[in-house]
């Protein structure tokens, strides 16, 4: 949600492994970074083949991340909120993840809270979506965290995305006053032209 993760899970290294390592290590060419001057304020991480991504992501987690997390548990490196987060990741995260779209490319966007005005997000998403269309993909989906209001849905609908599924996520429940949902949004392409407006 654009805020530091430390109050929820103090191990930034492992947290990055959980949610971004596949993309940065195995599909870095599909990563976009938003800058304000020389400061990184957000990113888009994309994958062109969901099935390949899912298999290799789990291989990375089990072979690289799980051993170091287990060692840190055994050496008492985690506080109570961090252990609670790990329990959520192991036992609830999959159930709270909305469905994906088979055979579609996908993306995830995150921006610092100050930059969640829509402009930076659109620039990242539009550039990625147009590139996919030019490469001949049939469509793309994203999984985004949203509040209960329909504002995000209206914004994505305006650009031809459809909300496919939405599930409430509980990992923030001790830290945010409003419930947070994860939504799957999908856009089908027609031909190889740019399906999204060009932004300067």
Q: pLDDT (tens digit, 9 = 90+) per residue, 73-127?
A: 999 999 999 999 999 999 999 999 999 888 889 999 999 989 988 888 889 999 9
Eight-state DSSP code of residue 146? E
Q: Where are the domains of the chain?
A: 12-188
User: 139-147 and 162-169: which strand pairing?
Assistant: unpaired
Q: Does domain 12-188 have CATH number 3.90.1150.10?
A: no
The model's pLDDT over 5-49, given as tens digits with 9 standing for 90+, comes to 999 999 999 999 998 999 999 999 999 999 999 999 999 999 997
Backbone angles phi, psi at 80, to 5 degrees: -60, -45
Report the alpha-carbon distance of residue 10 to residue 192 in Å, rounded. 44
């Amino acid at each position: 949600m654009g805020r530091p993760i430390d109050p929820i899970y103090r191990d930034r290294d492992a947290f990055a492994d959980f949610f971004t390592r596949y993309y940065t290590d195995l599909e870095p060419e599909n990563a976009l970074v938003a800058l304000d001057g020389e400061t990184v304020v957000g990113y888009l991480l994309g994958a062109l083949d969901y099935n390949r991504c899912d298999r290799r992501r789990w291989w990375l987690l089990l072979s690289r991340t799980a051993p170091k997390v287990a060692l840190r548990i055994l050496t008492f490196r985690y506080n109570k909120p961090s252990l609670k987060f790990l329990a959520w990741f192991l036992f609830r995260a999959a159930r709270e993840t909305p469905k994906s779209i088979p055979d579609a490319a996908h993306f995830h966007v995150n921006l610092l809270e100050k930059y969640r005005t829509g402009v930076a997000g659109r620039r990242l998403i539009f550039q990625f979506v147009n590139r996919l269309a030019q490469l001949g993909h049939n469509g793309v989906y994203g999984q985004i965290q949203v509040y209960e209001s329909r504002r995000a849905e209206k914004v994505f609908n305006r650009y031809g995305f459809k909300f496919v599924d939405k599930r409430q996520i509980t990992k923030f429940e001790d830290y945010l006053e409003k419930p947070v949902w994860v939504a799957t949004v999908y856009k089908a392409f027609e031909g190889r032209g740019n399906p999204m407006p060009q932004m300067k």
